[in-house]
Amino acid sequence: MAVGTVLITGGTGYIGSFTTLALLDAGYDVVIVDSLYNSSKVAIDRIELLAGRRPDFYQVDITDEKALDEVFAKHPAIDSVIHFAALKAVGESSIIPLEYYRVNVGGSIALLQSMTRHNVTNIVFSSSATVYGDATRFPDMIPIPEHCPIGPTNTYGRTKSMIEDVITDYVNAQRTNLEKEGKPFQQWNGALLRYFNPCGAHPSGIMGEDPQGVPFNLLPLLGQVATGQREKLLVFGEDYPSRDGTAIRDYIHVVDLARGHLEALNYLRSKQPGVKAWNLGSGRGSTVFEIIKAFSNVVGRDLKYEVVARRPGDVLDLTANPKLANEELQWKTELTMEKACEDLWRWVSNNPQGYRQEPPAELLAAIKKA
Amino acid sequence: MAVGTVLITGGTGYIGSFTTLALLDAGYDVVIVDSLYNSSKVAIDRIELLAGRRPDFYQVDITDEKALDEVFAKHPAIDSVIHFAALKAVGESSIIPLEYYRVNVGGSIALLQSMTRHNVTNIVFSSSATVYGDATRFPDMIPIPEHCPIGPTNTYGRTKSMIEDVITDYVNAQRTNLEKEGKPFQQWNGALLRYFNPCGAHPSGIMGEDPQGVPFNLLPLLGQVATGQREKLLVFGEDYPSRDGTAIRDYIHVVDLARGHLEALNYLRSKQPGVKAWNLGSGRGSTVFEIIKAFSNVVGRDLKYEVVARRPGDVLDLTANPKLANEELQWKTELTMEKACEDLWRWVSNNPQGYRQEPPAELLAAIKKA
């Protein structure tokens, strides 16, 4: 008997696939909807290999309310949703913003409407630390707590912040409306999970991030330098007032992050708190040079990089204050940035083509044995 | 030959109908789309009576992209849109927020997509001073300038602020993208018009606000007290630190407001400035007691009111700094709050049932004569 049944939108993506795995391991049944626009169905095979059972899967666009309705109708056991499905490239969001608003905001509205029709009333939302924008505007807000003022500086971040508002207003309204009608109002709950810099891969070496096109995060780019797919890493600025001049970010292992989703879901289902925002970060900041060094140590050789000018919009320090999640969710990161580097290297060195190639037989054999 | 052809969404509503009239009077052709969800088609007859010509009309829901496409296809002369279509009740927005986000934000996205497909690249957007929220947080921001930080305190205001962001990001992206392609990028323009408290009616006495259900603004409520449809007016708080203890608002005659839309449209079409936000207000604040007095003077007798507690969320002072619109649009209010009271009284006393009754024959005769 499953603990519960959860719909995961965007469940074949990077964080979605790890969260699916965490939920299966915790005894949940999982139904995935994903458009496969920026992910691969192969992720489901890997999840099955690791979890020993397979999530249900439907190729559905998040803006397609009818298709969502059909999935909910087919799986009446679903009581909660973890919502990842979204366009997620910051740079692209400034080039095709209307598409970002349509898919991310419009898709979330469609999802909430469909959930309502099927009486599914818990939503865990994949937000982002991007909603804080330049938190260094507020000197007493580093590391960043959840009450730091919101102020995203790009379209991607604005879509996340808008969806937070939509979920907050809707959950609050539903609770108020149901309470007035004398109905059980506590059932409507929302978790807004603001991630810092997700990184790393599964320790088995068969599941990880599979960026389409040019990656836009530091560690996947370093991974490509290490595998020879990229000549060198560009470091944007070494004149920040940090310990070595490069910018500070809070790197969180994707396995920890996935567990954070599980804990948030459990909290919503057991405590029924209404809407809550939680930072998911380690509380530890690493500079770009520290990441390069840690990853080079794992690879066993120096990796080529070049320092260029700061990128406009980049800020000195984005480190989470994860105290609220530590205390309320009884969750904290357990895996270090160094461990994320190890796992990432195992993933990219064994699967330089990501999910477009079979992993080495010895890795698969090790999983079957375990 | 028309000056240009403009699509007006929500053109049968209060401000939409007056703006249609102002555009027709200025030589524009007007095509209206409106769902008639909260307005009456009779408004079009009144516009025709006053303007001497009739706008085209289609009953279309703003979220229906296909229907919008058909209207644009049928009227290739349309080069600009004035976008009013939205749900607009602040109180209701906290009860059914998802519907507000779907119609207001989703509808605006649908409209921009349809505009893009038909190469219609100027949009004047009906925003609201509500986007500022409690501007009294910033003591040096009264009267409120456009650079006052945005911070809406209710769902209705959040939909307006989100649409401002969507339009801003999209117009900026389209200009950047087109410029890179060597194409004329200046064609994409957006005006974000932040109104203060629209009021008043047409001086002819045959066109005005026709609220469905209970009105939620001071002057329409006072109008109902004057016509005997309502026993008394509730005044929310007389303990504000104002000259008489009641809250201060900036009342703007709807005829001035409509002219503001015309001037913003002309500015976009001639100056092609990209995205601009303008306050449309008088710069003159009136207290609730001053409004009651002014309207009572027009009616010729005292109107009953009762002072009750402040409403949560209400603020002391929302007065516009209209300098930017005064200078850039060469627009300023010409009609006083007292004139708005006169015109409102002519409207409600002659049409206590709004558009659900024919206006007195002498008013119609006066129009035909003029």
Asked whether B123 and B80 are in contact (CB, 8 A), the reply is: yes
Asked whether B45 and B17 are in contact (CB, 8 A), the reply is: no
Question: What does the alpha-carbon distance between residue B222 and residue B295 come to, in Å, rounded to a whole number?
Answer: 8
Question: Which chain B residue has its CA at the smallest distance from A111's CA?
Answer: B98
Per the CB < 8 Å rule, is B105 touching A105? yes
Question: What does the alpha-carbon distance between residue B300 and residue A27 come to, in Å, rounded to a whole number?
Answer: 75
Per the CB < 8 Å rule, is A166 touching B101? yes
pLDDT at res. A212: 81
A5-368 topology per CATH: Rossmann fold (3.40.50)
Kindly list the residues from chain A whose CB atom is less than 8 angstroms away from the CB atom of residue B113.
98, 102
pLDDT over 90, % of chain A: 92
Average pLDDT over residues B215-237: 94
Average pLDDT over residues A49-63: 98
Whether residue A313 is predicted with pLDDT greater than 80 in this model: the reply is: no
Tell me the nearest-neighbour CA distance from B343 into chain A, angstroms.
Answer: 38
Average pLDDT over residues B5-34: 98
Q: What is the dihedral of CA A93, A97, A102, A103, to 10 degrees?
A: -10
Lookup result for tokens 């339009």: B167
> ∠ at Cα B351 (B346, B357), nearest 5°?
155
Kindly list the residues from chain B whose CB atom is less than 8 angstroms away from the CB atom of residue A104.
none
Can you tell me whether residue A81 is helix, strand or coil? Answer: strand
- Of A73-82, A211-220, B169-178, B227-236, which range is least confident? A211-220
pLDDT tens column, B106-134: 999 999 999 999 999 999 999 999 999 98
Amino acid at B315: V
Q: What are the strands, taking DSSP E only, across A173-324?
A: 189-195, 197-199, 233-236, 248-249, 251-253, 275-280, 286-287, 305-308, 317-318
- Is A156 labeled as catalytic in the residue annotation? yes
ipTM above 0.90, yes or no: yes
Q: Terminus-to-terminus CA distance in chain B, angstroms?
A: 24
Q: Indicate if the alpha-carbon torsion angle B214, B218, B221, B223 is positive or negative.
A: negative
Chain A contact residues (CB < 8 Å to B): 94-98, 101-102, 105-106, 109, 112-113, 116, 155, 158, 162, 165-166, 169-170, 173, 176-177
pLDDT at res. A171: 98
Whether residue A174 is predicted with pLDDT greater than 80 in this model: the reply is: yes
pLDDT tens column, B137-160: 888 888 999 999 999 999 999 999
Listed by start position, the domains of chain B span 5-368
Question: Which chain A residue has its CA at the smallest distance from B169's CA?
Answer: A97
pLDDT tens column, B282-317: 999 999 999 999 999 999 999 999 999 998 878 899
Among A155, A163, A188, pick the best mutation site for testing chain B contact (most B Cβ within 10 A). A155
Average pLDDT over residues B205-234: 93
pLDDT tens column, A243-294: 999 999 999 999 999 999 999 999 999 999 999 999 999 999 999 999 999 9
- A239 CB burial (10 A radius; 0-12, 13-18, 19+): exposed
pLDDT at res. B137: 83
Q: Are strands A286-287 and A305-308 parallel, antiparallel or unpaired?
A: unpaired
Question: What does the alpha-carbon distance between residue B255 and residue B351 come to, in Å, rounded to a whole number?
Answer: 18
Reported residue count of chain A is: 370
Kindly list the residues from chain A whose CB atom is less than 8 angstroms away from the CB atom of residue B312.
none
Per the CB < 8 Å rule, is B113 touching A98? yes
Catalytic residue among B132, B156, B240, B251: B156
pLDDT tens column, A281-309: 999 999 999 999 999 999 999 999 999 99
Tell me the nearest-neighbour CA distance from A96 into chain B, angstroms.
Answer: 7
Question: What does the alpha-carbon distance between residue B114 and residue B75 come to, in Å, rounded to a whole number?
Answer: 13
Return the higher-pLDDT residue of B240 and A213.
Answer: B240
pLDDT tens column, B342-352: 999 999 999 99
Whether residue A1 is predicted with pLDDT greater than 80 in this model: the reply is: no
Amino acid at B144: I
